[in-house]
Amino acid sequence: MEPADGRLPLTELARTRAREAAATSGRLDPTGPEDLAPNDRCLLGSRGSGGPGMLNNIYNSNYQFVQTPDALVIVVEMNYGVRVIPILRDRAAARAAHRPAVLNLWMGDSVAWWEGDALVVETVNVNPQQGRFGPIFLSPQGRVTERFTRASATQIAYEFRVEDQVHYTQPWRAEMVLEALDGQIYEYACHEGNYAMSGILAGARVKEAGGGAP
């Protein structure tokens, strides 16, 4: 872990963003779905589970990796996000394959290349809504570099490094070990049979009409 004290080296802007994200998550008076957090809208997995970098969630913290000679596909159990990452011959070729920044993809624009036994994944241009909400705050200038290394027959050593001078006073790095499990990833249908969104919005309309707190 870097920095050694384990604390994120947040700039004042990032601290402000963290407070705004916490307020958004607990909001009871949205005027519409757009006022709610991306995970409440089922656009993205919660607590940074989809990456980059990928963080542990309180549940549904599983991933499925499908690797071919040309691509790595990561299926994220939480909200069933999918990252399709092309694998190029080296870092220069990979960086040249980044797509236009205007696309602003959820979970960013990722490319990969091999460095010895490590598969290196570089991600830029994370969607601004995701970058502002966190928990890993990223500006349009932000860059996340992930490394996947086979540690044993059942383990992958995973680490990532975040560089973004807008939100952090220095680059920072984290790591963990991914353990293999038997079984498969099942679809996570976020809004299927889920009344949270309609309940939040209906409660806000009642509050507006003078009906008190929902």
Residue 150 placed within a domain: yes
Query: Which of the four pLDDT bands, split at 50, 70 and 90, describes residue 213?
Result: low
Residue 37 placed within a domain: no
Residue 35 placed within a domain: no
Q: What is the dihedral of CA 23, 29, 34, 38, to 10 degrees?
A: 40
Residue 2 placed within a domain: no
114: domain CATH number is 2.40.128
pLDDT tens per residue across span 19-30 = 999 888 777 788
Residue 31 placed within a domain: no
Token readout for 60 is: 């549904």
pLDDT tens per residue across span 104-116 = 999 999 999 999 9
Residues 190/42, Cβ–Cβ less than 8 Å: yes
Host domain of residue 71: 12-18+44-196
Q: What is the CA radius of gyration of the chain?
A: 19
User: How many domains does one find in the chain?
Assistant: 1
What is the pTM for the complete model shown? 0.90
Dist. CA 147–CA 112, nearest whole Å: 9
Residues 29/206, Cβ–Cβ less than 8 Å: no
